[in-house]
Amino acid sequence: MEPGIVIIGCGAAGGTAAQFARKTDRKIPVVILEKGKYSQYSKCGLPYVISNGIPSFDDLVEFSEEWFKKARIDLYLETIVETIDVENKQVIARKNNEEIVFPYTSLIIATGAEARIPPIKNLEKSLPKNVFLLRTIEDGKGIVSILDEIDKPVIVGAGFIGLELAESFHKRIKDVTIVEALPSILPNTLDKDMSISIQKELSKYLTILVNHLVEEVHINNGYVDSITLRNTETKEQMKMDVDLLVIATGTKPEVTLAQQIGCRIGETGGVIVNNRCMTSIPNIYAIGDCTEYHDFITGNSMLVGLGSIAVRQGIVAGVNAAGGNRFLPRGFLQTCTSRFFNIEVASVGVPSHRISNDIISARYTGSSLPEYYPGGNPVTVKILVDREKGVVIGGQVFGENAAQRINTIACAVRNQMHIDDFRDLETAYAPPIAPTFDPITITGEVASMKWRRK
Amino acid sequence: MEPGIVIIGCGAAGGTAAQFARKTDRKIPVVILEKGKYSQYSKCGLPYVISNGIPSFDDLVEFSEEWFKKARIDLYLETIVETIDVENKQVIARKNNEEIVFPYTSLIIATGAEARIPPIKNLEKSLPKNVFLLRTIEDGKGIVSILDEIDKPVIVGAGFIGLELAESFHKRIKDVTIVEALPSILPNTLDKDMSISIQKELSKYLTILVNHLVEEVHINNGYVDSITLRNTETKEQMKMDVDLLVIATGTKPEVTLAQQIGCRIGETGGVIVNNRCMTSIPNIYAIGDCTEYHDFITGNSMLVGLGSIAVRQGIVAGVNAAGGNRFLPRGFLQTCTSRFFNIEVASVGVPSHRISNDIISARYTGSSLPEYYPGGNPVTVKILVDREKGVVIGGQVFGENAAQRINTIACAVRNQMHIDDFRDLETAYAPPIAPTFDPITITGEVASMKWRRK
């Protein structure tokens, strides 16, 4: 086999890297080794198949085996990498009990992440039949297979995936509970005041228990039939009947192979990469959920947990591995969005409680349309400003077109735009589309006033 | 009467200036003199009352007489300013045949603009009964009063207002014609290739005649019953039956008073102001459609013709007139948007044919959603890049959320963002909301590739 670019993992990061390696060098062999049986598919789409927003799990496949074939990318599915032989620059993998050796010029590690299961009594070893994660199509199919018989589902973790899943359950089931150990929903994404506003709305549809830990699951005949919760504030215990438990408490990077060959691993547990996505070992790149990088604002290490970042890393690694030259920005903005129960939420940067800079923030609720035009919807915006420099360092929005509005704030953050300039940004105005001052700029006006009074 | 801030004109600019003058100094007298009978209303909303998107013309009033009263702003309606006495710092006005003298500490001229009527034979003196402009509520009411009997309306001018009006007519009338003298619709807003794509779609609903001048109207009993058009390319003449003619060919600044007192007037015909909205005469400001300012990119003088700019000038003049300190940016981006026949269009900066810089541009059509999520709509984006510097200098979008997408590009333009940084912008991604790369960033990728190959 001719040496070429070998990519371990065909998720969003690995698939994108293959695509851009091929674009950069039309001749070099490009190989992807994927342990699962699906080619590149959208993990983020899983809750929407469960909700029937997407018709079937097969629809989640973004690039099919045929697509990779046409692009002359050799995709090996159900292929487990056993060893990376750095000295001889080759990967030893196994498919159908057959060992195959893949020599590489460049290697890209895109092994992703695994669900992180919190310490819960009786969940230490294996998962009971009605306890699920939601990381793979298999997980999704497992949930769907029993969903018709469920009427007391509990979701652990009130992040985006937990809330998206809660909505999909709510479409079929009256009594859906979501349990969060921290004091507010979306604790990694929003400031508490923003979370509380959303939580209030969601409480119309869901039972939300914040400040609650699942301490124990009670198993009967291989199924969990109840759980014990503890209120982290009052320390009170509570028992609750459950017929489906989904753990959505985040992920941990899958770095076994990277660790074996001695790639530097960061404090967060992810592989450390530079701005070309190179690991500490020559010719070996790492991308996606198995890596860590810098947060744009704080400069702190952060785990890459977003598909949008994974694909951007995929481009950089793919281009560089194929002899091109492309760089990551100095840090990631972590722009993200989700929608549940008709509330669109979006954020850029990290929430206030994760930033050590001295911050000024402003929050404002306006309308998506001028007052005189019927049909406007509320838009709530929060903007974070560095007190010393006066620059925009983050934003959070919920309501109409939250995602698009956060993109504009993301552009401001990326440009380290001063709040006075952001306040003055000429946003597009037309009666049926947007008011003369978009709610984001009015929030900027309030933030600027607060900053000047500092 | 105690001297205070006197504002001539209660449009978006004047009304906003009053509001911010009051916010800046809670005690100083603030007076608005408005020749019309309505307090601050939205001119941009006029087409939507005609289309019934807004129930009545009265709904267009954004700030009522009561509102101004509560804000302790003295609003004089139907009050004509006769003279500005600069030496004695007073304005002499007439209301109900009574002369009133308003002494001022600061004067703000916000006299707006008037419709510009192109040279058309038989329209030189007065308008026949079925020929209308669309600048005022009176104009709108005039059109509505005869619309039920109309079946051959012609609109002259294919700018935003012309097209919005065409859509409102189309809701009631099968045969709507729009005539544009220049080679494409929206010639001040879009590059020709973008216009042509939209024109193709609009031609399903409208007869659109570009490269056509109205040379003559034929009057019968005080009504226009036909017009003569000339094709500017073939020079052929054509006669057309008409029962309603609306002239929407732009505006000219109303600067009579400013001129009388010797304010410097620019080449565009607007009052020249500095970045505090001051005219060439001490203590006299000018804002809104009667002024000119600099285009952000080209630095050229441009007429202020957008409500969104008028209100931003209003803030600056209001604050400064009341003793505060606020500045315009070095130029305006001219971000704008409109929607007709379900096509949302938006733009920032000036189109390529108005820029002398050497430009690289990229155009791309993507989807508002990831491919695997049902219901995505096309989004077409064009980005203009300065060839020498590599910075984003303009953008045009049509399709889903064009306005919000253009706001992000506007933020990039304002920050003189390099196309490589724009390309890498982390846009928000979630299956039901947006793809991993928003169409604006994919367009950035294409533009960046073209720029590197330059």
Task: Kindly report, residue by residue over B223-272, the tens digit of the pLDDT.
Answer: 999 999 999 999 999 999 999 999 999 999 999 999 999 999 999 999 99
Q: Is residue A331 in some structural domain?
A: no
CB–CB contact A335 B417 (8 Å):
no
Q: Is residue B90 in some structural domain?
A: yes
Q: Which value does ipTM take for this structure? A: 0.96
Q: In total, how many domains does chain B have?
A: 3
Mean pLDDT of all residues in chain B?
97
CB–CB contact B426 A48 (8 Å):
no
CB–CB contact B412 A412 (8 Å):
no
Residue pLDDT, tens place only, B356-400: 889 999 999 999 999 999 999 999 999 999 999 999 999 999 999
Residues B233 and B255 in one domain: no
Q: Is residue A81 in some structural domain?
A: yes
Give the minimum alpha-carbon distance from B392 to chain A in angstroms, rounded to a whole number.
Answer: 12
Residues B154 and B275 in one domain: no
Domain termination site, one of B214, B247, B280: B247
Which residues on chain A are in Cβ contact (under 8 Å) with B374? 53-55
Which residues on chain A are in Cβ contact (under 8 Å) with B422? 411
Q: Is residue B329 in some structural domain?
A: no
Looking at residue A357, what is its pLDDT? 82
Q: Which member of B339, B372, B412 has the closest CB to residue A433?
A: B339
Q: Which residues pair with A104 in a beta bridge?
A: A4
Residues B172 and B285 in one domain: no
Residues B348 and B396 in one domain: yes
Residues A124 and A243 in one domain: yes
Q: Which of B26, B21, B16, B24 is nearest to B5 (CA)?
A: B21
Q: What is the CATH number of the domain that holds B373?
A: 3.50.50.60
pTM value is: 0.97
Residue A120, C-beta contacts closer than 8 angstroms, at least 6 positions apart: A214, A215, A216, A217
Residues B299 and B344 in one domain: no
Residues A421 and A364 in one domain: yes
**Residue A454 above 90 pLDDT?**
no
Q: Which member of A45, A333, A405 has the closest CB to residue B431?
A: A45
Residues B12 and B85 in one domain: yes
Residues B59 and B126 in one domain: no
Residue A112, C-beta contacts closer than 8 angstroms, at least 6 positions apart: A9, A11, A13, A253, A254, A288, A289, A290
Looking at residue B338, what is its pLDDT? 98
Confidence of residue B19 (pLDDT cuts 50, 70, 90): very high
**Residue B454 above 80 pLDDT?**
no
Residues A180 and A301 in one domain: no
Residues A257 and A292 in one domain: yes
Domain termination site, one of A267, A292, A321: A321
Q: Is residue A327 in some structural domain?
A: no
Angle between helices B307-321 and B12-24 in degrees, nearest 10: 30
Domain termination site, one of A286, A321, A356: A321
What is the rounded distance in angstroms from the CA atom of residue A267 to the CA atom of residue A288?
17
B44 included as an active-site residue: yes
Q: Is residue A330 in some structural domain?
A: no
CB–CB contact A430 B336 (8 Å):
yes
CB–CB contact A429 B337 (8 Å):
yes
List phi, psi (to 5°) of A73: -115, 125
Task: Select which of B44, B277, B290, B336 is catalytic.
Answer: B44
Q: Does A338 reach chain B within 8 Å, measured CB to CB?
A: yes
Q: Is residue B331 in some structural domain?
A: no
Residues B187 and B255 in one domain: no
Range of the structural domain that residue A382 is part of: 336-453
CB–CB contact B403 A432 (8 Å):
no
Confidence of residue A286 (pLDDT cuts 50, 70, 90): very high
Q: Which member of B344, B408, B437 has the closest CB to residue A408?
A: B408
Confidence of residue A219 (pLDDT cuts 50, 70, 90): very high
Confidence of residue A1 (pLDDT cuts 50, 70, 90): confident
Tokens of A376: 């406007």
Angle between helices A439-453 and A402-414 in degrees, nearest 10: 40
Q: Is residue A326 in some structural domain?
A: no
For A76-82, what is the mean pLDDT? 98
Q: Does A267 reach chain B within 8 Å, measured CB to CB?
A: no
Neighbour count for residue B88 (Cβ, 10 Å): 10
Residue B199 to residues A30, B202, B213, B333: CA-CA distances in angstroms?
44, 5, 18, 25
